[in-house]
Amino acid sequence: MKIVLYMYLAICLLVLPCVSAHGYLAYLGIDDGQSYTNYTGNVPNADPSPSVIRQVSDISPVKGASNPDLNCGLNAQFAEKVASANPGDLLVFDWRGGDNTNWPHNTGPMLTYMTSCGSSDCTQYNSSSSKWFKIAEIGIVTNATSNNSPVWAQQSVMNGAFMNVTLPSTLSSGNYLIRHEIIALHLATDLGGAEFYPACSQVKIGGSQPGMAEDSEMVLFPGGYKDTDPGIYDPDVYSSNSYTFPGPPIAAFVSGSASTSGSSSSSTSSATAPASTSSTTGPSSGGAQSECKLQRRMNSVVPASTRRSLRRGNHLPLRTLDRREWHGRRLGGLLEDVITAFGALKFCGFWKGS
């Protein structure tokens, strides 16, 4: 009896960190300056509800730059709804860990792409052969709270910030997928170690602006990255204050002039204050868009409905037991929980089975 109990506790200790070690896009907010609309995403592999965010099947990352899931995430499914937005609106991306706490990683860039779905809305649009253009990227920034020392902007998301991106003011109207991506580089010192977290949201852009990307500024996913790209395979990720963004340059129409991907150094990258209640960013090098910003989760711009206490969690089949339950458990119940826990271990990649 005690042996089984100890096994149960040990497996729980192994599984619980796994639950939060990865994550997903939980919410998308759109702020037009007058009102704020919040769209809830679906927990990976849960029963879906209507959403504008395409649901992925797992909180785990996409591995490998040639992986078909690099397009919109692991086994991403069409979403039922379409968000409405206009050029110049603020997009607010709320990334969560698998256990619904803060995003668990702090090393690597965040990039935003768009692709046109054509004349129909994006609810049935297959983007596997679609061409994407980049509208924003952010990597190493200056930490205003620590003597302007360089830090990854992703650290602020880990600390509880949202990721904000402003839609280009001249973006042409139409149906679009917005692909927001976090690349976690904590294992990128080894070839193939980078972890990709792409998430696609379906939107309809209004207005009558003319802004469009050139074909030379567009890429396929997969196809836009290589595993050997400096911004994906980075042996110096922990010792360098510069970073080379992967993928194409930010589309020229976004800023009104040509831009190129390149190194982002602490002296020229955008400044942010991860611990403050609001933040502003200056232009970051490597063509990073000046409208790429971070804000704290409890900022008044974000409605109370997005607060952590009201969020949906990703509940694995493990639960905390009170004292009476511990003593009241029968051997059969414990064995069932051990079997369930082994299933969770397999889900997390700790055990591959025979």
Output the DSSP codes for 184-205: E-TTTTSTT--EEEEEEEEEEE
User: Which CATH number, 1.20.120.420, 2.60.40.4070, 2.70.50.70, 3.90.110.10, labels domain 26-306?
Assistant: 2.70.50.70
Q: Where are the domains of the chain?
A: 26-306
The C-alpha torsion from 325 through 328 and 332 to 335, rounded to 10°, is 40
Cβ(114)–Cβ(178) below 8 Å: yes
CB under 8 Å to 224, separation ≥6 — which residues?
Answer: 132, 246, 247, 248
pLDDT 10s per residue in the chain (354 long)? 555 445 544 544 444 444 457 999 999 999 999 999 999 999 999 999 999 999 999 999 999 999 999 999 999 999 999 999 999 999 999 999 999 999 999 999 999 999 999 999 999 999 999 999 999 999 999 875 667 789 999 999 999 999 999 999 999 999 999 999 999 999 999 999 999 999 999 999 999 999 999 999 999 999 999 999 999 999 999 998 999 999 999 999 998 643 333 333 332 233 233 333 233 333 333 334 434 555 544 332 333 333 333 333 333 333 333 444 334 433 444 444 444 344 444 444 444 443
DSSP H or E stretch at residue 228:
none
pTM of the model: 0.73
